[in-house]
Each structure stands twice: as C-alpha cells, then as structure tokens.
Amino acid sequence: MEFLVRIQIALPDGMDDERRAALAAAEVERAAELRAEGTIQRIWRVPGRTANIGVWVAEDASALHAKLTSLPLSRWMDIEVEPLALHPAEGGDA
C-alpha cells in the first residue's frame, strides 16, 4: 500500500554543529537504504524548507510506522501520513 508522507524537520537551536552533521549523515544513509529496498518510492524537497514529501510503500500503517521511526532524525520530525488508494487511471476500480 502507498502513503503520502510529509516530513518537517526542526532541530533544536542549541544543537551543536557536530551533532547536526553526524545526525544528517546517519539520516542520509538510512534514507538511502529505505529507497534501495523500495520503501521510499519517490521523495521531493519542499522548496525553502527543511521538509520533504514522499511516496512510501509499506504493508500497512504499522509497518510504515516502524520504517518512519527508523530514521535517525525522527525525534525531531513532524510527520503527517495520508493513505493513498489506486486510481482508476492506474488500474483501480472505476
């Protein structure tokens, strides 16, 4: 099943640059894994924001939750999930 996932990241202002860099590197690595395994199907940046919009694929909402919380920055993310249904134009029922 596909989900539209909107993620806004807000690191606390007091976090030092070293920790920011380490977390960012870990985040990039984990995101790459999720893309490689097909969980993140597409992902875009929201222009001007530390935010992204993605199409995620997971068995169900529980599996999706496990994937989302595996992101190293998840503690600082505000995440909104919308379930997506198949459209008739892509083979869903009319």
Decide: 19 and 76 in contact? Cβ < 8 Å: no
Q: Cα-flanking dihedrals φ and ψ of residue 38, to 5°?
A: 90, 5
Interface residue list for a copy of itself (CB under 8 A): 1-5, 7, 12-14, 28, 31-32, 35, 40, 42-49, 52-53, 55, 60-62, 64-66, 68-69, 74, 77-90, 92-93
CA–CA distance, 31 with 54 (Å, rounded to integer) = 11
